[in-house]
């Protein structure tokens, strides 16, 4: 007779790093992983439970390498323990940002140096193989997954792929940087004195414009804030060529997020309203495409 599998809480409680008995507390908000906070010997820890997710290109060896390099660059908490399916980091006492926080130039002026530091310094500190994250490849991959999975969105795919091809041509050649590639506002934590960037599931080499465009799409930045964002990042006023490539990346960021959610509708076991999230991001993609086509 086989023994029952331990619950996730029991698995976390049984990790070998604890000094005493612990009572893991489930944390809400994650839509890719299951997360816990653990207090042990007067110190708090953040525990992520999640295996590889090939359908999304999430590979934990890549996440671990990126998280360690990002900590070496000084922008994310230290990795304190890792084993298959488990990542334990220091717990940051602070608040996660919301969309409205990023619609403020004072906050953007803090966020941009953090993003640039990711792009410029993390690659120099990665000591293991890591992935490339090319959003147009991701979109094409998602289309195949959706077709094979009998998705309700399959009739929309030809037009979405046509738009993606148009956007990829507009981006043109890139200079790769090491991107975070998932700049949702909740992946920034403000501890009161500095910002941290967390959650490296989708990290990899990419264009800087994908992170910048993704940030704008995810936070619904207005034109004045986007101009400020690009000026802060590049140190000069963006010209027409940069605007075109940026708007293309902003649009594909919203499309990739929408298609991520479409795939999650048929593949994820996380309790979350993916259908509403899909529609929200399709709306953002439509708005971004309208900006690009103008």
Measured distance CA(110)–CA(190) in Å, rounded: 10
pLDDT at 3: 45
CATH topology classification for 8-90: Phosphorylase Kinase; domain 1 (3.30.200)
Measured distance CA(68)–CA(213) in Å, rounded: 25
Tell me the domain boundaries of the chain.
8-90, 95-293
Please write down the HEC assignment for all residues of 3-58.
Answer: CCCCCHHHHHHCCCCCCCCCCCEEECCCCCCEEEEEEECCEEEEEEECCCEHHHCE
Residue 282's nearest CA partner among 248, 245, 253 is: 253
pLDDT at 5: 60
pLDDT at 265: 96
Residue 152 carries which DSSP code? T
pLDDT at 32: 79
pLDDT in tens, 106-152: 999 999 999 999 999 999 999 889 999 999 999 999 999 999 999 99
Burial of 170 (0-12, 13-18, 19+ CB in 10 A): middle
- Kindly report the CATH number that applies to the domain delimited by 95-293: 3.90.1200.10
Evaluate whether 8-90 and 95-293 have a shared fold.
no
pLDDT at 80: 98
pLDDT at 269: 83
Total-model pTM: 0.94
Measured distance CA(53)–CA(228) in Å, rounded: 36
pLDDT in tens, 24-42: 999 987 777 899 999 999 9
Measured distance CA(115)–CA(70) in Å, rounded: 11
pLDDT at 37: 97
Average pLDDT over residues 238-257: 98
Burial of 149 (0-12, 13-18, 19+ CB in 10 A): middle
Residue 93 carries which DSSP code? -
What contacts 162, CB < 8 A, 6 or more positions away? none
């Amino acid at each position: 007779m086989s023994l029952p599998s331990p619950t996730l809480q029991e698995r976390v409680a049984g990790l070998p790093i604890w000094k005493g008995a612990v009572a893991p507390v489930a944390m809400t908000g994650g839509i890719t992983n299951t997360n816990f906070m653990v207090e042990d010997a007067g110190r708090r820890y953040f525990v992520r439970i999640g295996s590889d997710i090939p359908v999304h290109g999430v590979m934990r060896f890549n996440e671990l390498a990126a998280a360690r390099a990002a900590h070496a660059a000084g922008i994310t908490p230290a990795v304190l323990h890792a084993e298959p399916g488990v990542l334990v980091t220091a717990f940051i006492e602070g608040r996660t940002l919301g969309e409205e926080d990023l619609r403020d130039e004072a906050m953007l002026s803090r966020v941009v140096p953090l993003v640039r530091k990711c792009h410029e310094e993390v690659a120099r500190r990665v000591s293991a193989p890591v992935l490339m994250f090319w959003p147009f490849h991701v979109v094409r991959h998602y289309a195949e997954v959706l077709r094979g999975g009998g998705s309700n969105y399959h009739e929309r795919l030809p037009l979405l792929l046509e738009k993606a091809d148009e956007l990829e041509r507009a981006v043109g050649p890139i200079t790769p940087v090491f991107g975070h590639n998932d700049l949702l506002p909740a992946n920034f934590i403000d501890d009161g004195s500095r910002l941290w960037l967390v959650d490296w599931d989708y990290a990899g080499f990419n264009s800087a414009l994908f992170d910048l465009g993704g940030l704008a799409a995810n936070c619904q930045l207005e034109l004045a804030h986007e101009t400020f964002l690009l000026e802060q990042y590049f140190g000069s006023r963006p010209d027409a060529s940069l605007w075109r490539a940026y708007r293309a990346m902003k649009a594909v960021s919203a499309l990739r997020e929408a298609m991520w959610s479409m795939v999650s509708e048929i593949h994820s076991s996380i309790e979350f309203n993916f259908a509403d999230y899909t529609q929200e991001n399709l709306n953002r993609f439509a708005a971004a495409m309208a900006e690009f086509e103008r």
